[in-house]
A and B are shown apart, each in its own frame.
Chain A
Amino acid sequence: MINVIREPLIFEISSPGKSGVRLPNLDVPEKLDVLEGLTVREDLEGFPEVSETEVTRHFTRLSQMNYCVDFGFYPLGSCTMKYNPKLNEKVAGMASLAGVHPLAPEKLAQGNLELMKTLEKLLCEITGMDAVSLQPAAGAHGELTGMMLIRAYHEAQGNPRKYVLIPDSAHGTNPSSAHICGYVVREIKSNDRGTISLEDLAREMTEEVAALMVTNPNTLGVFESEICQISEIVHAKGGFVYMDGANLNALAGITRPGDMKVDVLHLNLHKTFSTPHGGGGPGSGPVAVKKILEPYLPVPIIEEKDGQYHLNYNRPKSIGRVKSFYGQFLVMLKALAYILALGPAGLREMTEIAVLNSNYIRKSLEGVYHLKYDSPTLHECVFSDKFQKDFGVSNLDISKRLLDYGLHPPTMSFPLIVHGALMIEPTETESRRDLDLFIEAMKAIDREARENPELLRTAPHITYVRRLDEVQAARNPILRWEKK
């Protein structure tokens, strides 16, 4: 069915007079003088007019054009596309929790405050940190918040400092967040193991450097084994260690950032803690800190006294607010339900199987695809298209061909240190059968690259649309529908 019907834009199937909703009539006397002083619009030009049936068909058909985790393997590296438990959706839909107004008096929202405080405490235990703010909306927002905490601390000492060190393997949000926090980014080159070399770091680390932003394991899936020495070098010059915790799925229950002397990190609840990505959000990016940075956390913070929960806004050293209200509350509920479902042994098993699955894929594809770094990897591994390049086939072609096998491709856009990257993160929620399907498809595609490269260069062949012209989209931007 999917490929038979081309689904138009809603605006193109609209016709005057229809509506998909029945609203009550006005039950108070209508008064026209209330319009005095208002500039009223003539019309909602172009706004759609469709029935409920048409809305339902429209979105049902659109949904069927999407690949998703509920359908199959989604090995986007760094994105931790694990299964989203359905129970969590039910929890987040409970009216007694989701129906509360954010500015309701605290005593009428004690249940919600307790749930948030509980999640904070569990995240402290999992990360080995001292305090958590749940306010940041996503990973990048957590990074920005974390860097602001660092800056506020340095400022309180009289000098915000100037630079932030970031390895060249880092995700793009790291340098961007540091920049928006007013810092100048200095890149550290990765060594031939794909990690930070202590000598380079020692040379770069001066008293003008506010912090090192490190991802651990890094975006190659390689653990920075010298993390404690790294922390020591940074601390010796009065700097802070910021850890991008996007890859916590490789560590939870095995080791803790706090024990690596990390000072601040963000977590992605929409990665490690199973909350769905929703086609690009909402996420949730809590920030965890050591005691030294706690006074600077965003307001309000949640405090507990004699079983009563209270929002404290009176925090003179706080960086202020980074978001309205308290963060992505419903996402927090899902993460909490997940942690409770796993328990301590389950959390450890989650990490172990994520790492097992990743190494199983790595071992199975080694030799078929090029592996630039042979360091051991944890939850993900990064191959490249180097072998297939000889046949004029790129990582993009390989990825598009995977779509024809009914599988989602790996991440291609980074790490920048691997040219033609294929960054694969299976997560723990894949069965052996699904892993093998992927492995066999990747092997078959390698054979196709040698025998019939054109098949790859023109892929995908069976999707709702064929390869899309991204150059034209950017050169001649059409960013909205317009009435002809």
Chain B
Amino acid sequence: MSYIPISEQDKKEMLARIGVESVEDLFCCIPESIRLKGLLNLPGPLSEPEILEYFEERGKKNSFDRYLSFLGGGAYDHFIPAVVDYLSSRGEFVSPYTPYQPEVSQGTLQVIFEFQTLICQLTGLDIANASLYDGATGAAEAVLMANRVKNKKRLLVASNVHPEYRQVIYTYTRNLGLEVVEIPYDRLGRVDQKGLESALNSHTSVLLCQSPNYFGVVEDLKSLGELTHRHDALLAVVISEPLSLGLLEAPGKLGADIVTGEAQSFGLPLSYGGPYLGFMACKKEFVRQLPGRIAGQTVDAEGRRGFVLTLSTREQHIRREKATSNICTNQAHCALRATIYLETLGRQGLKKMAWLNLQKAAYALETLTAIPGVSRKFGGPVFNEFVLEFPTDWNRIKQKLEEKGILGGLALGEAYQGLEKCALVTITEKHSREKIDRYAQVLREVLK
């Protein structure tokens, strides 16, 4: 086996030093009754070219890349600069462990420190952690954190938060005696403020909303913040399309206390759903309740700047069952990719990227709603996703579009009663005008 560098000769000499006859003897502590008698029933061993062929064959069974896709909903197909793949694939970034020995991990630690800084700048909050698993677990961690800060059992979650994020929140909270209440959306597609007001009470820890939300609509965070704060609750915002922060005001400046989300948009491929990149930022005063690893700046014995993992008394390896979260391994390499991506784009590039998304989505919205029978479902302002309404059930239209090579959007009917005729359409900078026009042309034919 080419991954095992011990020869038969080595083995003999090593066994002699250990003082046993055979490798078998080293397993004498495992009772005979539970030892496997033969080999496992597994395929292989396959050679290197055979493995490549095996995966290439499976790749051919995926026909997704033969379609023009307008799918988003928490997973976005954005352009990734070549330096991101090139630099992130260096073995010095791919093959270390979590930086437990800071003196030989300054690369990883400085990257985390820069990542935390970028997340703070984007969200407008004081501190950020090194990463969480994804946007969905980030949303769950955010409401649990708010519950620890406020110590009140009622958690409000906007119904226009990504359905999968809400499902994870339910899974995480159901065993903890917490009450999760969903807040309806209004005609603009935003959190219904009347509904929110009537749901807020003195037992409420938090409102979690998403912006842009699952309908692509940007929330009025300022008003939501004022309302929740008036009831001594926190405003937590989850973001699944953080590219929007290249254009939109930082949620922290509008009243958000915790901002979490999914940063797949920052240099991670679609990857059939993972690995992605959860992030979390909050106000300084909540630092002891923040889950996950945090890098901090310090000095070495010669007074030079260096970085370490810090505030670990929040974490499981020190606090065990009293830790703020059980997370240990996180998404460090994904955070590295996001850091390279953001630093490569920089101030100008990120703004331009956001602008391209906004403008192209506006063009698509205008072009598609010019088609008879197609209308915009929600009036609220959007970034790069929007909901369209059609004359009949979307699934039927979707089918016909698919037959013509177009994945026209995500169905909403399953998650939202009453939206059976609607679809969530996503536009990114990768959609040229020609692609958008093609969608419009095919849709026009399909609806005739």
Contacts and interface: CB of A to CB of B under 8 A. Distances in A.
A210 B319 CA distance: 22
Given A65-B110, A280-B330, A466-B300, 13 more contacts: A20-B349, A34-B381, A47-B118, A68-B93, A76-B97, A96-B59, A279-B98, A282-B329, A342-B44, A378-B27, A413-B100, A464-B106, A474-B312
Given A39-B248, A357-B6, A111 B61 contact: yes
A339 B30 CA distance: 23
Nearest to B287: A477
A330 B337 CA distance: 15
19 contacts: A37-B380, A40-B247, A50-B346, A58-B343, A96-B65, A100-B62, A100-B65, A125-B42, A126-B40, A173-B326, A254-B36, A280-B99, A280-B108, A341-B44, A342-B45, A344-B40, A473-B296, A478-B297, A481-B114
A59 B340 contact: yes
Interface in B268-303: 269-276, 287, 293-302
B59 A111 contact: yes
Interface in B76-132: 77, 79, 81, 83, 85-87, 89-108, 110-111, 113-114, 116-118, 120-122, 126-128, 130-131
A312 interface: no
Interface in B1-54: 1, 3-6, 10-11, 13-15, 17-20, 23, 26-31, 33-36, 39-46, 48, 51-52, 54
Contacts of B206: none
B171 A44 contact: no
B440 interface: no
Interface string A58-99: 111011111111110010100101111101011101111111
B45 A340 contact: yes
B29 A345 contact: no
Interface string A107-138: 11111101100000010011000000000011
Given A105-B402, A141-B133, A323-B274, A279 B333 contact: yes
Contacts of A399: 101
Contacts of A40: 247-249
A468 B87 contact: no
B94 A84 contact: yes
Interface stretch (A286-294, A314-322, A443-451): A314-322
A114 B269 CA distance: 20
Contacts of A222: 29
A27 B433 contact: yes
B154 interface: no
Contacts of A468: 102-103, 298-300, 306-308
A80 to B, nearest CB: 10
Contact of A281 (B162, B262, B315, B332): B332
A422 interface: no
Interface residues of A, number: 202
Interface in B218-254: 218, 221-222, 245-250, 253-254
B63 interface: yes
Contacts of A103: 71, 73, 75, 410
Interface in A323-361: 323-331, 333, 337, 339-350, 352-353, 355-357, 359-360
Given A39-B248, A182-B176, A414-B317, A254 B30 contact: yes
B94 A110 contact: no
A110 B61 contact: yes
A260 interface: yes
B362 A34 contact: yes
- Which of A7, A58, A110, A323 has the largest number of chain B CB atoms within 10 A? A323
Contacts of A19: 344-349
Given A85-B3, A463-B103, A481-B114, A39 B249 contact: yes
Contacts of A151: 175
Contact of B95 (A52, A84, A256, A349): A84
A9 B110 contact: yes
A375 B93 CA distance: 37
Contact of B275 (A10, A282, A298, A432): A282
Given A281-B329, A356-B26, A467 B300 contact: yes
A320 B35 CA distance: 35
B97 A98 contact: no
Contact of B381 (A36, A49, A93, A343): A36
A266 B44 CA distance: 24
Interface stretch (B179-187, B194-202, B353-361): B353-361
A74 B310 contact: no
A50 B345 CA distance: 8
Given A178-B321, A321-B167, A28 B23 contact: no
B334 interface: yes
A389 interface: no
Contact of A55 (B63, B83, B327, B433): B83
A203 interface: no
- Which of A48, A84, A327 has the largest number of chain B CB atoms within 10 A? A48
